[in-house]
Amino acid sequence: MDSRQQAYLQAMGIDIWVQRDADIQVNAIPLVTAANPQADPVPSINPSSSDDLSQLDWSALQARVSACTLCELHQGRTQTVFGVGNPRAELLIIGEAPGAEEDRQGEPFVGRAGQLLNAMLKAIRLQRQEVYIANILKCRPPNNRDPKPEEAALCSQYLVRQIELIQPKLILALGRIAAQRLLQTDMNLGKMRGQLHRYTLTDTPLIVTYHPADLLRTPSDKRKAWQDLIFAQRILGDPAKAV
């Protein structure tokens, strides 16, 4: 742990003594490949049975998303929020949906939660532009309500194509809603954390952590988020552990 990393941890609000504790605990986290759990609790769309996006390259996909009117959310948006970062990133971070500021700027995680996400990334020596950041939904739900299952189902075909094109080594799901959607489960966040899952549609390793907005509300969970980041770093550093 160098001094730069310690400074980022402090910026995240994590006391320095926590990381030693976290290092020990993280090494004790079993690398479990979770079987895809229970039956799908929400409707899902088989991407191949709807519009076929499998031939679209990155820019054609972006254009398709910008013009999307598949669900009612297109009526209230300023613009779609496709994602940001390196389209060849090893780490793909997936949040829930754009908020007001993201809708205005057309970029995910630009508000306070985004600032905390940037600090979290720096703590594992990653810059925002090195990873790719996207959401389950490309359009802002009104009053920041949770995504409806049918909205997530319709929008997921775009995310699937993004994952196919990026081919990340690891997906980091932020928060219960993104994680439940990606893993097609109704498990709670506590059960999903600390395990190596797979996003089955693209067979991509996936882990789960807190949503930065939840960490802003409950800073005491930052210690556990730090454990999750070390877990991510460990998998990225040694992808064989993700098999």
Which of 9, 56, 71, 113: binder of ligand URA (CB under 6 A)?
A: 113
Nearer Cβ to ligand URA, position 115 or 233? 115
Choose one: 95-103, 121-129, 149-157, 202-210; the region binding ligand URA (CB under 6 A): 95-103
Give the DSSP letter string of 126-171: --GGGSEEEES-SSPPGGGPPPPHHHHHHHHHHHHHHHHHH--SEE
Give min distance, CB of 77 to ligand URA, in A: 13
CA distance 121 to 71: 32
| Contact between 95 and ligand URA per CB under 6 A | yes
- Per rule CB under 6 A, is residue 103 in the interface with ligand URA? no
DSSP per-residue string spanning 214-237: HHHH-GGGHHHHHHHHHHHHHHHH
Tokens, residue 177: 């809603």
Stretch that binds ligand URA, among 28-36, 40-48, 108-116, 216-224 (CB under 6 A): 108-116
230 in contact with ligand URA (CB under 6 A): no
108 binds ligand URA (CB under 6 A): yes
Is residue 225 within the footprint of ligand URA (CB under 6 A)? no
Any contact of residue 85 with ligand URA (CB under 6 A)? no
Q: What is the CB neighbour count within 10 angstroms for residue 216?
A: 16
Of residues 122-161, which lie at the interface with ligand URA (CB under 6 A)? 135
Task: List CB contacts of 115: < 8 A, sequence separation 6 or more.
Answer: none
> Using CB under 6 A, which residues numbered 41 to 80 contact ligand URA?
none
Which lies closer to ligand URA via its Cβ, residue 18 or residue 42? 42
Q: How many residues bind ligand URA (CB under 6 A)?
A: 11
Among all residues, whose Cβ is closest to ligand URA? 95
> What single DSSP character describes residue 7?
H
- Backbone region of residue 131 per phi and psi (left: phi > 0; alpha: psi in -120 to 50; beta: other values): beta
By C-alpha distance, which of 126, 134, 116, 148 is closest to 217? Answer: 116
**Closer to ligand URA at the Cβ: 101 or 130?**
101
Q: How far apart are CA 109 and CA 16, in angstroms?
A: 26
Contact 228, 112 (CB under 8 A): no
Among 97, 155, 187, 232, the residue binding ligand URA under the rule CB under 6 A is 97
Choice from 98, 141, 147, 168 touching ligand URA (CB under 6 A): 98
User: By CB under 6 A, is residue 109 in contact with ligand URA?
Assistant: yes
- CA dist 33 → 160, 166, 191, 206, 208 (Å): 20, 22, 13, 9, 13
Residues in contact with ligand URA by CB under 6 A are 95-99, 102, 108-109, 113, 135, 213
